[in-house]
Amino acid sequence: MPTPLPDVSSIQPTEYVRTNDYTEGAVVDHEGNLYFSHGRLITKVTPAGQARDWAETGAPNGHKILPNGEHLICDGSHHAMLRLSPDGELLGYAASGKSEDLEIRQPNDVSLDPQGGFYFTDSVPDTGAVHYVAPDGQMKVVARNINFANGVALSADRRRLYFAESLDNRILVVDLTAPGVAAGPPEVFADLPRNEKRPGKEWNQPDGIAFDADGRLWVAHYGMKSIHVLDLDGTRLCTYDGGNVLTSNLCFAGPNFDTVYATGGDPGALMRLDVKVPGLRLLPASS
């Protein structure tokens, strides 16, 4: 049986780390340390809640950690996916230049394939894209002409790739016939609610996404101060308060991997939601 979702009224986000600037790219390592991006910096937060500056890269955004302890960072100022050491030192680029015929411009978010390789989004209006980088470094275009590709998440069976199309306020999905190979063009998985008080597109943008252990998709909705939970068919099951008005991203973490940590702006903080729903563990085993 799926873990029940808690009643919306019972979940109140609490401020975990305040930065007063826009935060992004929450991720957790094998030791339970949290990392998140803001400005030029990446901050590391220990399981005891102690925060310190960990790295400075330029414009860090989405972030994942590899089995060998290296970090993958999306950075638009470099127009590249960065490789950082476990100590936060720049080791080089994991992806840059061209992927097939497309220049990599504004890497935004990243999802690991547990069997090797990774997917990342390139966020520009109208001509955004989703790319795959194989373990040997070869790159493929998975989807193109996306109106600001944003958050990305691979399903547990590795057969479907989900990503946000922010400026059209929806989640798209592609079926995969092999790693990085789409069976066809993206399809709409879910259209999201719109902000009736602020109808402009800047207030209706799905951003980071993550799966829970039961295959439900959790969506950070920028401008809506919301985290939506979508069922396997794209039905919206409930919406939690994201804490930040500009809710930007989320990850599951904590001793039982059942706490959501959310980023964003206004006020600009890492927020904690004690949902007691286990997340999908896609972090590969450490090597």
Question: For residue 150, is it within any domain?
Answer: yes
Question: For residue 231, is it within any domain?
Answer: yes
Query: Residue 158 contacts by C-beta under 8 Å, 6 or more apart in sequence?
Result: 113, 114, 115, 176, 179
d(CA 107, CA 105): 6
Cα 61 to Cα 68, 74, 87, 244, 249: the distances in Å are: 21, 5, 18, 17, 10
The pLDDT of residue 1 is 87
**Domain holding 213: CATH number?**
2.120.10.30
Identity at 56, one-letter amino acid code: E
| pTM of the predicted model as reported, rounded to 2 decimal places | 0.96
> In this structure, are residues 208 and 217 in contact, taking their beta carbons and an 8 Å threshold?
no
Question: For residue 137, is it within any domain?
Answer: yes
The pLDDT of residue 201 is 63
Tokens of 140: 């493929």
Q: How many domains does the chain have?
A: 1
Question: For residue 5, is it within any domain?
Answer: no
Query: Residue 126 contacts by C-beta under 8 Å, 6 or more apart in sequence?
Result: 145, 147
**Full domain range(s) for residue 135:** 16-273
Question: For residue 281, is it within any domain?
Answer: no
The pLDDT of residue 99 is 97
Residues (pLDDT < 70) of the chain are 199-201, 283-287
Question: For residue 2, is it within any domain?
Answer: no
Identity at 104, one-letter amino acid code: I
The pLDDT of residue 203 is 80
Question: For residue 283, is it within any domain?
Answer: no
Question: For residue 260, is it within any domain?
Answer: yes
The three-point CA angle 238-110-5 to 5° equals: 20
